[in-house]
Chains A and B, each alone.
Chain A
Amino acid sequence: DADVTQTPRNRITKTGKRIMLECSQTKGHDRMYWYRQDPGLGLRLIYYSFDVKDINKGEISDGYSVSRQAQAKFSLSLESAIPNQTALYFCATSDPRTGGSGELFFGEGSRLTVL
Chain B
Amino acid sequence: GNSVTQMEGPVTLSEEAFLTINCTYTATGYPSLFWYVQYPGEGLQLLLKATKADDKGSNKGFEATYRKETTSFHLEKGSVQVSDSAVYFCALSSSGTASKLTFGTGTRLQVTL
Pairing of A with B: yes
Chain A contact residues, CB within 8 Å of chain B: 4, 31, 33, 40-45, 48, 50, 58, 90, 92, 94, 96, 99, 101-109
CB distance from B55 to the nearest CB of A (A): 11
A42–B106 CB distance below 8 A: yes
A103–B49 CB distance below 8 A: yes
Q: Which of A43, A44, A96 has the most CB of B within 10 A?
A: A43
Q: How many residues of B contact A (CB 8 A)?
A: 23
Q: List 21 A-B contacts (CB under 8 A).
A: A40-B105, A41-B105, A42-B105, A43-B44, A44-B103, A48-B100, A50-B98, A58-B100, A99-B49, A99-B51, A101-B51, A102-B32, A102-B34, A102-B93, A102-B99, A102-B100, A104-B36, A104-B99, A108-B41, A108-B43, A109-B42
User: B41-83 interface mask toward A, CB cutoff 8 Å, 1 = contact, 0 = none?
Assistant: 1111110010100000000000000000000000000000000
A104 to B34 CA separation, bound complex (whole angstroms): 10
B104–A42 CB distance below 8 A: yes
Q: A31-B99, A50-B98, A108-B41 are in contact. List 13 more A-B contacts (CB 8 A).
A: A42-B106, A43-B44, A43-B103, A45-B100, A48-B100, A94-B99, A96-B98, A103-B34, A104-B36, A104-B44, A104-B46, A104-B99, A105-B45
B89: interface (CB < 8 Å): yes
Chain B contact residues, CB within 8 Å of chain A: 4, 32, 34, 36, 41-46, 49, 51, 89, 91, 93, 98-101, 103-106
A102 to B101 CA separation, bound complex (whole angstroms): 7
A103–B43 CB distance below 8 A: no
A102 to B44 CA separation, bound complex (whole angstroms): 13
A106 to B91 CA separation, bound complex (whole angstroms): 14
CB distance from B89 to the nearest CB of A (A): 6
Residues of B within 8 A of A101 (CB): 32, 49, 51, 93, 99
Name the CB-closest residue of B to A48.
B100
